[in-house]
Structure 1
Amino acid sequence: MPAIVNLLFNTVSTNTTISFSLVLPLVSVLSLLVGVGGHLLVWLVLMQNPRRRSKPSSVLLLNLSLADLGALLTLPCVLLSASSQGWQLGGAICVLLGFMTSLTAGADIFSLAALSVLRYRIVAPANHRPVRPIQVAGTVAVIWLVSVTMALPKVTYIQFDGGCRWSVDQGQWLGFLVPAFLVYYVAPLLCIGINCGLIVTHLHACRLSLSATRRNKKATALLIGSTLAFAISWLPYYALEFVNVLSPYVSSASFPLGHPYAAWANRSLAPAQAPPPGGVTLLWELASLIAILLVCLAPCWNPPLYFLLSRPALRQLRALLPSPRQRWGPARIAPATAPRHAPAAPMPSVLPEGA
């Protein structure tokens, strides 16, 4: 993935007319609290049940959750930088942030692609052998190895130059952006789309029990929902990056070197040069803010989708969490009252016999 920190910090903190010091921190805190809490509940549900946590799909779901938790750990940097309207954490943290963003985004989408392949093998077992634990472990290892390989160029040969900004020219920037878009976005989504199409076709062609059909449909819906959440969250970012690199008419604060307005963006190099027409435009700021908010919220969607589309997981979560009755004790039962029109009991006689 290319230098997302340009979009996260330079574009929104230099000569802006919209105040990001309130909106972005609030969304970051909300995403951090909701996201971490939701993923911890997913881990609690999956790890409490030995039979459930040993399933290949559960292992991949935990791997997906781990990637989302790693992405959430970068949000304090976003919070601090947005609050101070500048980068205060130094070059090493900036490089680490870019590396972690690439690493977790890759592990996230690759886990979804592996889940789509596994889901098709489960739905159409006649054509495939059962998945062994060693295969699942190998898949998880490959996911993280590819993600690390794609993220390493940030650390190895991109030069950091003041603030939180990458000193790369247009060709180098495209050299990151195009492979990242193809490997992190297009190829995994194409793989998931093909497998989901095969799953739907197989479910329509074969006759299964009502419970099995319902279970397969919900599992497929969970996969499609998580994929759509990822696609929608990252598409504005990629669109802005391509426009920022290729268009000579966009007024941005984070141009690559060699861009017509790059000298103005780094005003220490050319302080007397006139800014591009319109400076940093309101439309660009608004689009940047939307892209940043979607990226910050991206790790939060999977837990609610999982609990909404998995009744066993929701039942297990309710069993694990304390209910109001367990907290306050059993309700007191009011004593039974006599019927309104009950006949009166006969009064004992106090008169002597024969009176």
Structure 2
Amino acid sequence: MQFSIYGFTLITGLPANVLAFYTFLQKIRQRSTPIDVLLLSLTISDLIFLFFLPFRMVEAANMKWTLPYFLCPLSGFIFYSTIYNSTFHLTAISVERYLGVAFPIKYKLKCNPRNAVIASIIFWVISMVHCSIVYIMQYHDHSNPNFTDPSKRNTCYEEFSTEQLKILLPVRLELFAVLFVTPFLICCFCYIKFIHILSNLPNINAKKRYRAIGMALGTLLVFIICFMPYNISHVVGYVGNYSPDWRVYALLTSTFNACLDPFIFYFSSSALRGTFKNVFQELSRRLHMPCCRSPLYCPLLNCSSTEEKTQSTTDSSL
């Protein structure tokens, strides 16, 4: 199951995030806004996550860690850092959206892409500093004669001694409170107010209103579906003074975030909607080309009607 979910996330998330990266990079080069900077930073985070996902896929396929051991703490560090980095960025986007509708004039006067760059750097630093616990745990307690050298194990970040748990469990509780609950509450407040304000605006286009509300609800669902199960395991482990075995499965929902983010971006950015539309149109055109060359496929894609129209036009011109 782990391998299937990782594979699905990689196959769907990689092309969508590459398109998003290209779109936001081009937009920033032309005219950058704070929301574009945040979306680009979040896309980079997702791409880094997807780049290291194959290491987890190899582990899931072999049911043990068989890669060089230095990749274990590195992949875990990147894995967890990018997950929590996403919570910060999604929260910052919700704040930007709320301020844009609640205080439109002040927001336009004071919004500066440089502030978004600074915020993104802070998000990266905070998430990476907190998740450095992965390295600490993997190489802690070496002085204990009963401690097995991690490089001689066939597991990655799963087995912990009692001394390690004394350090790890409080840190996980802090991760739950600081890197999940706080961003989630801020996100809920901003998007609830955001939806309320949009619902009361009489002159806004209905299509734009529904798109904005869809983005807000989609983001909240990502927090609940992708991030909540894994973070709840932190609380359960702290209360029970152990590391729950089901954390591995709770973590699977977090991987979906990498392929769901581009769909949230779709509601957030008209530029990305344009890119997706152009790509789908090009794919549709390429899929129709063999049909029109081969009459055998015409009943499937209705190319016969096109050929009949062409033939009638030719006959009338003669």
| Displacement after TM superposition at 1:51 (Å) | 7.9
Deviations 1:215-273 (A, max 9, x none): 3552343143123213312222233344345337xxxxxx56xxxxxxxxxxxxxxxxx
* Whole-angstrom CA distance in 2 between matches of 1:56 and 1:197: 21
Q: Aligned with 1:209: secondary structure? A: coil
Deviations 1:261-302 (A, max 9, x none): xxxxxxxxxxxxxxxxxxxxxxx87x5564243133231111
Residue 209, structure 1, aligned to residue 203, structure 2: yes
Report what 2:62 is aligned to.
Answer: 84
Residue 115, structure 1, aligned to residue 93, structure 2: yes
Report what 1:301 is aligned to.
Answer: 260
TM-score normalised to structure 1 length: 0.68
User: Which runs of structure 2 are paired with 1:162-201 in the superposition (5 Å)?
Assistant: 162=150, 163=153, 164=156, 165-167=159-161, 168-201=163-196
| Displacement after TM superposition at 1:192 (Å) | 0.7
Equivalent of 1:56 in 5, 11, 34: 34
Equivalent of 2:119 in 133, 139, 157: 139
User: Which runs of structure 2 are paired with 1:145-156 in the superposition (5 Å)?
Assistant: 145-156=125-136
Higher mean C-alpha deviation, range 237-246 or range 186-195: 237-246
Q: Retained in 1: the 8 A contact 2:233–2:247?
A: yes
Q: Structure 1: which amino acid aligns with 2:204?
A: L
Deviations 1:199-223 (A, max 9, x none): 2333345x45232x64355234314
- Count, aligned residues: 281
Q: Aligned with 1:210: secondary structure? A: coil
Unaligned runs of 5+ in 1: 1-22, 249-254, 257-283, 340-355
Equivalent of 2:278 in 311, 315, 319: 319
Higher mean C-alpha deviation, range 32-41 or range 48-57: 48-57
| Displacement after TM superposition at 1:181 (Å) | 0.3
Report what 2:229 is aligned to.
Answer: 236
* Whole-angstrom CA distance in 1 between matches of 2:189 and 2:224: 15
Report what 2:212 is aligned to.
Answer: 219
Deviations 1:288-342 (A, max 9, x none): 5642431332311112343367666334422245154467298651135989xxx
* Whole-angstrom CA distance in 1 between matches of 2:197 and 2:315: 65
* Whole-angstrom CA distance in 1 between matches of 2:268 and 2:47: 21
* Whole-angstrom CA distance in 2 between matches of 1:115 and 1:245: 31
Deviations 1:120-142 (A, max 9, x none): 12112145443112212111121
Q: Structure 1: which amino acid aligns with 2:63?
A: Q
Q: Aligned with 2:311: secondary structure? A: coil
Which structure is higher in RCO with an 8 Å CA cutoff and minimum separation 6?
1
TM-score normalised to structure 2 length: 0.75
Q: Retained in 1: the 8 A contact 2:73–2:134?
A: yes
Q: Retained in 2: the 8 A contact 1:99–1:152?
A: yes
Residue 28, structure 1, aligned to residue 21, structure 2: no
| CA gap 1:171/1:29 in 2 versus in 1, 3 angstroms | same
Q: Retained in 1: the 8 A contact 2:23–2:272?
A: yes
| Displacement after TM superposition at 1:53 (Å) | 6.0
RMSD, aligned CA: 3.2
Q: Retained in 2: the 8 A contact 1:35–1:300?
A: yes
Residue 328, structure 1, aligned to residue 289, structure 2: yes
Q: Aligned with 1:87: secondary structure? A: coil
Radius of gyration: which is bigger?
A: 1
| CA gap 1:174/1:303 in 2 versus in 1, 3 angstroms | same
| Displacement after TM superposition at 1:100 (Å) | 0.9
| CA gap 1:96/1:200 in 2 versus in 1, 3 angstroms | same
Q: Retained in 2: the 8 A contact 1:31–1:300?
A: yes
| CA gap 1:53/1:73 in 2 versus in 1, 3 angstroms | farther
* Whole-angstrom CA distance in 2 between matches of 1:244 and 1:28: 24
Q: Aligned with 2:312: secondary structure? A: coil
Residue 37, structure 1, aligned to residue 31, structure 2: no
Q: Structure 2: which amino acid aligns with 1:122?
A: G
Q: Retained in 1: the 8 A contact 2:88–2:183?
A: yes
| Displacement after TM superposition at 1:39 (Å) | 0.6
Q: Structure 2: which amino acid aligns with 1:174?
A: L
Q: Retained in 2: the 8 A contact 1:229–1:298?
A: yes
* Whole-angstrom CA distance in 2 between matches of 1:234 and 1:133: 28
Deviations 1:10-31 (A, max 9, x none): xxxxxxxxxxxxx222222221
Higher mean C-alpha deviation, range 27-36 or range 90-99: 90-99
Structure 1 or 2: more helix by fraction = 2
| CA gap 1:239/1:117 in 2 versus in 1, 3 angstroms | closer
